Structure 1
């Protein structure tokens, strides 16, 4: 066995989880950035954006599966196994609902609304804060930054709640029943993304309380 392999054999096995979570958050940040940019210049006749979101969603599925495989292989984990599972599932939900939002915009041929771009920007900001929280959670050394990032995610979710309410009011004033059904469905999917981001922030805060 080479010296590199010997060194690797004695490395803490729990480090793999932080590596994988960092890959997941990197994927979510890239996905949400592409989503935000794509919404700004949206074309219902061009499904390039939908395909990109599908690719990101599949990559997230693969990383989530990898986390679960490592969870089954490793006895030593950086925090509770249940928390690892909850965190991985929550992060995967964010990717699932970003993709679902994109898919239903295309399926419904949903007309463009300013609220879509407002939501997409909030989603991107939430993913950036989650990435920041996960980076600082490593080693449990920068808990102030973790807490601040989680608070920002919670604030973003509150803004998204208000955005949904105000957008629905404007939507119903159009008196276009078919349009209301289409757009309201998309708006709800977009708002759920921020709900899932808040769920992840809450999971991170629970981990921080237990182990910091």
Structure 2
């Protein structure tokens, strides 16, 4: 019992979730600006650095949360839920960084309409994910819990939209692109961008579980 009294009873996990979600939104917006200004090499490099910086900041938050789990005696929600939530969120940040790096490593010369559409859907998913994360601390309020569930449903719909864009993009790519190298490059980019929305949906599923167990 003495051991339990010596350990912190509750870390500020909610604040750390919010910080991490903010870093992901920063990375998503930087990636969106990267895509929008892709023809400008200097801006492309600048926004790639901004994505990297946001991802590294998110990594630090993830590390702090995982460390705090082991130092906190009583957590505000289940430890497994905390661990799963922060690490799934970190997957989103990683995928944004991977997408920016792949554009450079694969020497993609220009972005097309499909990349732009998938980027826009990814940004919307990330923004809704941040909104849902911000509601976790208020789940004792029935209206907040309901709003969180509705936001998660919005993320699900955005992921479905991205999936449809992805299928259409792949179909067009294999029908119209004669250069095999371009097919390989663009397919990799499409898959990464669609996976961002998949991971946002995974975060939404974790949040739904937290809502149902704690509201």
TM-score, structure 2 as length reference: 0.89
The aligned counterpart of 1:96 is 94
Match of 2:149 among 147, 150, 159: 147
Bigger Cα displacement from structure 2, 137-146 vs 201-210: 137-146
The aligned counterpart of 1:119 is 118
Distance in structure 2 (CA, Å) of the matches to 1:25 and 1:114: 27
2:139 is the alignment partner of 1:136: no
The aligned counterpart of 1:3 is none
Match of 1:158 among 160, 171, 176: 160
Contact 2:33–2:47 at 8 Å: present in 1 too? no
Distance in structure 2 (CA, Å) of the matches to 1:167 and 1:139: 40
**Which residues of structure 1 form unaligned runs of 5+?**
1-11
**Which residues of structure 2 form unaligned runs of 5+?**
1-7
The aligned counterpart of 1:4 is none
* Cα-to-partner distance string for 1:67-105 (whole Å, 9 max, x where unaligned): 011111101111110110000000000000000011001
Contact 1:44–1:109 at 8 Å: present in 2 too? no
Matched ranges for 1:80-95 at <5 A: 80-95=78-93
Q: Secondary structure at the match of 1:144?
A: helix
Contact 1:61–1:92 at 8 Å: present in 2 too? yes
Runs of 4+ deviating beyond 2 Å:
12-15, 43-46
Distance in structure 2 (CA, Å) of the matches to 1:104 and 1:43: 16
Aligned residues: 201
Distance in structure 1 (CA, Å) of the matches to 2:119 and 2:9: 37
Q: Provide the alpha-carbon RMSD of the alignment.
A: 1.4
Contact 1:44–1:106 at 8 Å: present in 2 too? no
CA shift for structure 1 position 30: 1.7
Matched ranges for 1:34-113 at <5 A: 34-43=30-39, 45-46=41-42, 47-110=45-108, 111-113=110-112
Contact 2:92–2:200 at 8 Å: present in 1 too? yes
Distance in structure 2 (CA, Å) of the matches to 1:167 and 1:156: 16
Counterparts in 2 of 1:82 and 1:147: CA distance versus 1, 3 Å: same
* Cα-to-partner distance string for 1:137-175 (whole Å, 9 max, x where unaligned): 213121111011100111111011011110111111222
Match of 2:25 among 25, 29, 32: 29
